[in-house]
Structures are given as C-alpha cells and as structure tokens.
Amino acid sequence: MSAPARVRSRIRVTGIVQGVGFRPFVHGLAGELGVVGFVGNDEAGVIIEAEGDPAALEKFVDALRSRAPALAAVEEVSAVPIPVGGDTAFTIAASESHGPRSTLISADSATCDDCLRELHDPADRRYRYPFINCTNCGPRFTIVTDVPYDRPSTTMAGFALCAACTAEYHDPTDRRFHAQPVCCSQCGPTLRLIDTAGQPVGESGDPIRDAATWLSAGAVLAVKGLGGFHLAARADHEQAVAALRGRKHREDKPFAVLAPDLAAVHELCEVDEAELVELTSRRRPIVLLHRRPDARLAPQVAPGNRSLGVMLPYTPLHHLLVDAVGAPIVLTSGNISDEPIVYHDADAATRLQPIADGFLTHDRPIHIRADDSVLRVVGGRPMPLRRSRGYAPEPLPLAWPAPRQVLGCGAELKSTFCLAKGRHAFLSHHIGDLENYETLRSFTEGIEHFKRLFDIAPELVVHDLHPEYLSTKYALDLVDGDVEGVELLGVQHHHAHIASCLADNGEEGPVVGIACDGTGYGGDGTLWGGEVMVASLVDYRRMFHLEPVPLPGGESAIKEPWRMAASWLRVAYDGAPPDDLEIIARNGVRWTHVLRLLDSELDTPMTSSVGRLFDAVAALIGIRDAVNYEGQAAIELEQRVQLDEPAGYPARLEGELIRGGDLIRAVVEDVRAEVDPGTIAARFHNGVVDVLARAAQAACAETGLSTVALSGGVFQNVVLLQRVSAALSSAGLRVLTHSRVPPNDAGISLGQVAVAAARDRATH
Ligand code: ZN
Ligand code: ZN
Ligand code: FE
C-alpha cells in the first residue's frame, strides 16, 4: 500500500498571536505531527505553510486554535490548499513588515507557573530576580512604545541582552524565544530601595528584604509596579495604614489589599469558585470580596465596608515582596487624592515624596500608565468596575465591522476612550476623572498612542452631549482644528450606556434599556439618569423616567446628598416639606438656604437621576450628608440593606413618570416610626426594583420586545442589579448585563463607538 498523498496549506492566523510564543508553539506542533513547511509573522498576524499527510494537517490546523499558548487570543484560522513544495523540515521564517498593520498587542500578564518555579529555584540563573518573564507572561502593553512589537519598540530597548539571554531569545525550542522583555540579573533592570532624598538605603543589600523590614516596622513605601507606582503599607499595621490615609488625603475610600497567596485570601474573605477563577486569572484584577468579620486588618483599610478589594501578586517583584513581608499589604494607587497614578520616576520623587517614607523602584521605564483593574462577581459572572491593567488594550469584538474608523471620546468621570477599526473596538485603559490637566493630557496622549499602535485614523469622532465635558470639548476642537475628513457625532449619554451593554453582549437590539445613573446630559437639556428606553444601537426612544427634581446648587448637590434630600422632600410634599425631621435639625440654617434656592429656581437644573434619589435617601436616614468620593452615599446605603427584609415601598407609574415622591414619603414615615436604617434601606431598594421592573415590563408590552438591558453606574449596586434581574427574569424577560466592560461611565466610549458604527452601517 502506498503512503497517503501529501497536501500543503497556506494558513493565516489572526488575533493576539505575536509576542506570545506563537511561532515556537507552531514549530513544536509541526515536529510532533510530522508536518514540514514554515511559520512567520507579518502585519496581519501569523502566516504558515504546512505540508504533510491529510490527517496530520487536519490535526495541525485544529490545534492552532485548541492548543494555542496562554497569552494568545486566536480570532481566525483560515487554510487554503496550495501546491506541495517538498520541504524537508519545519522552519521559523524571519519577520516581515511592509503593508498595513493589523496585529494586536497583548495585555500585561501575571507571572506564569514556569517562571515562578524558576524564581524560587536556587539553582536557576534567575533565582529571586524580580523581573523574570517569558513568552507566556510579563509586561506587554505598559512597555510597548511603538509598533511592530519588537524589543527596540519597548522600554527594554536600553537593556542589551547578555549571551545567555541572547541564546534563549534565538532558540525556537526555548520558552523565551522572541520574548521581547526577556532579561536576567546580568543584563536586565535593577531594583533599588532609596530614601526620600534618593539615597540607597537598606541593611541586607537585598532591596526586597529591606523593603519588607521597613514595611513591617510601619513604613509607607512607594513601589514601582507594572503600570505605575503603588503606595504600600502592612495591612495589619494600624499606624502605617492610618498614616497612608492621612498623607494621601483619602478619607474613606477603601484601599485594596495584596495577599501573599490564596490561603491568606481565605483568611481575609469568603471566596466562591467564580471569585477564585477571577483572582487567579492571568489578568489578576482586584476582586471585591465579602470580608470576614475577624479579618486581621487595620480599621483604616476599608472603614465601614462589608467588602474588601483583594488581589494576588502579578509580577515577580510583588511575589517576592509580599512573601518577604509574610502578610497582606495595602497596595493603593500612587497619587494624591484624585490625580492620575504616578508612573515616571522623576514625578514619583516629587509627588509621592510627602506620602512615602521610601521608594522601592527600578530602571525599567513604564510607557503607559495602567491602574489595577477591579471587578465584582455577580451571579457567577464577572462585573468589571474598572477595566485596565491585564485587559487593555485587548480589543472587544464588535458584532459587525465598523464601516469607518471611529473614535469614541467617552464621558468625564472614570474616563476611557475607544478606537474602532473593522470588528475591533480598542477600549482604553482607565484614564481617570477628566477634571484636571494631568488626566486630560493622559487622555490625549493615550489616544495618539492607540492610533499609532493600531494604525487607526478616525474618520468619525463621537462625543457626549454634555457641552462642558472635556471629552466633548476635545472632540469639538478636533473639528475646529480642521482635521481633514473628520465627522462629528453626538450620542446621548444613556443611549451610550445601553449601547455599551448591547456591545458587551454582542447584540444590536432593539431592547428595552434601563439606565440608572448619576447624571448625564439628556436629549432635552436636562440631566437624566433614571431612564427606561427602547433602544437599538442605531437609535433610542425614552419611555419612562424618574420624575425630575431640581439639583440645588448643581455640582455641589452631588457632593452633598443632604441637598438632594431637601429637593426630594419638597417635591414629595408638593412644596410643603415636613419641618420636624432629624436631617433638618442636623443641617440647620443651610437647610433653609437650600429651600430658598429651590424656590428661586436659580442654579437648580432638573434631573431624573436615580443615583441622586439614592443619595437623598441615604441622607434622609442619616447615613451620610456629604460624600468624599463619587457614589459613596449610594454605596453605603447598599451596604446597609437588611437582606432578608421582604417588604418594599410602593411607587406609582404615571404616564411616563416613575413617581419617586411616593418612595420618599414612605421613607419619611418609617424614619418617623424609628424603623432601623437597614430595614428602610431594604424597603427602598425593593420599591425601586419593583417600579423599575414594572416600567420595563410595560415598555416590553407596548413594543413587543422581550429583552431588557441594564446599564449605568447605579447598577454597580449588586442588590439592585440582582433584584431587578430576578424580577425581570421571573416575568419571562431576557436580561442583559455587563460582563466585559463596566456599567459605569468607563463603558460610555464603547457605547458611543457601537452607536456610530451601527448608524454608519445603516446609512452606507
Ligand atoms: Zn513566564
Ligand atoms: Zn541576561
Ligand atoms: Fe453615566
């Protein structure tokens, strides 16, 4: 019997397939299956010519997807038959780079198990080397300065490989073949512990051990990580954590904690299976977990909070440091209050000098700032609250290709931008609140960087309708600056929220959308934020909304929830609010002032925001009159909810209005009856859930739709999210929620892009 005929295929693989060890993987696979030919990189990804018997070739093509390396994200594998070539071996071809670029850059990835083993092996040449990495792990996005992704276009360019590292780099069978950040203690970055004057310090000569000694003695250290500087303190050290809080001017916002290992996480928090998956993923986000009452933590870590943000080490430096300390450490963004995280050494030396007692730093530059990502697990699925390090700049798939290249400028708080080309939406890392020069610069530089990395020249620029957002002004300036051929598109804030939820789920609608939010500019010039709408990616129609109330003093009403309580009381009691409540006594003369302001209608824009209704209730029941971080009152209200309280306050739907006044009067009655705040919080939540579900059902009945999408910052409230979802599901409706992008304003830029692409598709 003769051997089966040989066949040959030209195979194209796209996705995140460069800089992730794909070529050595293909090389190994070919050897295993007796396939000959070659593999190479080009502008579009990986190109392979493979030749062998038909069965082997079929297995080969299947394995390209099913057995791809850890950091690869294979999007497409396409094979076309070509004439056999008669090669005798399988080789790795040199890279080519000519045509238009369409390769992707992977996110930074946690240290892999192989590297960890070497890190702890005294016989290994990288034993205890804090910058160990390989093709399966290590820094990527934060060190890439340009394309194509090659060592000279990373911040490792200044480190010449030693002979041993060179050999690994060029050996196709080595785990470090073409790993661009590869290095060792002979040729790579060096770690230093320095004091606030920049002088080297430490007793042992090992900066890690010395840093651990400092931390255990109660010092606050600035630690240079992957995407910026953190501030670190021992999490069980009361004075250290209190000092950190004081010097950082951060009053209540919880700190995240880095735990040495899973055992330590279990001691701090309750963890379920789905949470474990997220905690240990190579993306290594901060996961908000239910904290144990007996957790050994300084009180100032997360004051008055039932949950705790926890992460596991994600760089060799963090592994070594937290192991040496032997206890969890607080790891919070290196900045003062709301400024962006510091990522340059010179900047750290000046800006963090007042906070840190010393600096654990190194000489590998950070090119792009990337904050830690944060998520919560809800109903077994991740709900991102901040999508940044470990995720960006991985593209999110658009359900259909965008006809033109698009830039979404996002909103203002928790700002991100999003660039799209074809089916790829490149949602940026977390930029921060676009309120100061530093964040604005980070925003504009970030856009330029992404444009270059992904070869995108936006023809369509999308902005929020809010005229005062710096992101809106940025978009308008682009066109004023006569950037050739750029078209502007304004997309309403809550339409963008629902569109972001649709894009998150790969759908186009139409659906009924519930957008529960802080405040966003409405289509009618008032501030919206409690919207039940019919929405597709292309368009939306408002169907129900919370009854609008004045926002007394505009912005200051957001920082001082008691003002919202005054406004809501006035609406709920038809202009004659009660005068015998504790909140009135507490606020004294300023209460009267605000009532007068409300009567005058000066500086009192109208808002239908659900977030502001939550604020009002939090103030009414005495939880909080003023906030010192965004959403604080609503977060604390949620934390108070008496989870097994079944009752809920009634609220009417009247025409297109959701009557919030009904809820407020019910709250007041219970406050007067001295019902405990946890029970009131629960009844209020249940009332909101019920009226939102009824509104959505009515919208579904009227339109014949049966899917409801939930978005907006208020849906970070898990009690609200789960109960609204449950109510809609039990009414037979399908519910869409977020699992890839945050429901808050960080998702707006993706929603904007999705709307623009869909409208473009509809008209082109
Ligand atoms: Zn590795
Ligand atoms: Zn080396
Ligand atoms: Fe919003």
**pLDDT band at 752; cut points 50, 70, 90:** very high
**Ligand 1 center from residue 394 Cα (angstroms):** 19
* 311 lies in some domain: yes
Looking at the fold, whether 303 and 326 belong to one and the same domain comes out as yes
Contact 309, 318 (CB under 8 A): no
Q: Domain containing 458 — which CATH number?
A: 3.30.420.360
310: pLDDT strictly greater than 70: yes
Beta strands in 169-276 (DSSP E): 191-195, 221-224, 229-234, 256-258, 269-270
* 352 and 229 in a common domain: yes
Q: Which ligand is nearest the CA of 132, by number?
A: 1
The residue out of 389, 410, 436 marking a domain boundary is 389
Cα 744 to middle of ligand 3, angstroms: 6
What is the Å distance from ligand 1's center to 112 Cα? 4
Share of the chain above pLDDT 70, in %: 98
Q: How far is the CA of 148 from the centre of ligand 2 (A)?
A: 23
pLDDT digits (tens, 9 = 90+) for 185-195: 999 999 999 99
Q: Ligand 2 centroid to 190 CA: how many Å? A: 12
Q: How confident is residue 44, by pLDDT bands cut at 50, 70 and 90?
A: confident
Question: Is residue 657, in this structure, part of any structural domain at all?
Answer: yes
Q: Which one of the ligands is nearest to 111 CA?
A: 1
pLDDT at 485: 79
Tell me the pLDDT band of 206, cut-offs 50, 70 and 90.
Answer: very high
**Same domain for 289 and 183:** yes
DSSP letter, residue 745: G
Same domain, 275 and 181: yes
Report pLDDT digits (tens) over 619-666.
999 999 999 888 899 999 999 999 999 999 999 999 999 999 999 999
| Cα separation, 374 vs 398, whole angstroms | 23
Q: Within this chain, do residues 213 and 286 fall inside the same structural domain, yes or no?
A: yes
Residue 108 has pLDDT above 70, yes or no: yes
Asked whether residue 97 is domain-assigned, the answer is no
Omega cis (within 30) before 83: no
CB 258 within 8 A of CB 278: no
Ligand lying closest to the C-alpha of residue 465? 3
Domain containing 292 equals: 107-389
Residues with CB under 5 A from ligand 2 (ion): 162, 165, 184, 186-187
Using the 8-state DSSP alphabet, how is residue 137 labeled?
Answer: B
Judge contact between 693 and 721, C-beta under 8 A: no
**Do residues 56 and 192 both lie within one domain?**
no
- CATH code for the domain of 38: 3.30.70.100
Query: CB–CB of 519/611 below 8 Å?
Result: yes
What crossing angle do the helices spanning 718-730 and 632-640 adopt, rounded to 10°?
Answer: 60
C-alpha 237 to ligand 3 mean position (Å): 37
Same domain, 622 and 698: yes
Last residue of a domain, one of 389, 416, 431: 389
The answer to the question of residue 560 being in a domain is yes
Residue at 101 is within a domain: no
**Spatial CA neighbour of 660 closest among 541, 536, 565:** 565
Tokens encoding 358: 């010393």
In a domain, 100, yes or no: no
pTM for this predicted structure: 0.94
Short-list 257, 282, 232, CA closest to 115: 282
Whether 98 maps to a domain, the answer reads no
Q: How far is the CA of 303 from the centre of ligand 3 (A)?
A: 26
Are residues 298 and 353 both part of a single domain?
A: yes
635 Cα to the center of ligand 3, angstroms: 16
The pLDDT > 90 percentage for the chain reads 84
Q: 166 and 279 share a domain?
A: yes
Q: Residues 715, 664: one domain? A: yes
Residues 493 and 548 in one domain: no
Within-domain flag for 289: yes
Residues 496 and 608 in one domain: no
In angstroms, the Cα distances linking 345 to 68, 75, 533, 750 are 37, 38, 48, 32
**Spacing, Cα 329 to ligand 3 middle (Å):** 33
The domain that contains 335 carries what CATH number?
3.90.870.30
Domain count, the chain: 4
Confidence band for 602, pLDDT divided at 50, 70 and 90: confident
* Boundary-marking domain end, from 62, 92, 122: 92
What pLDDT was estimated at residue 92? Answer: 86
pLDDT above 60 (res 100): no
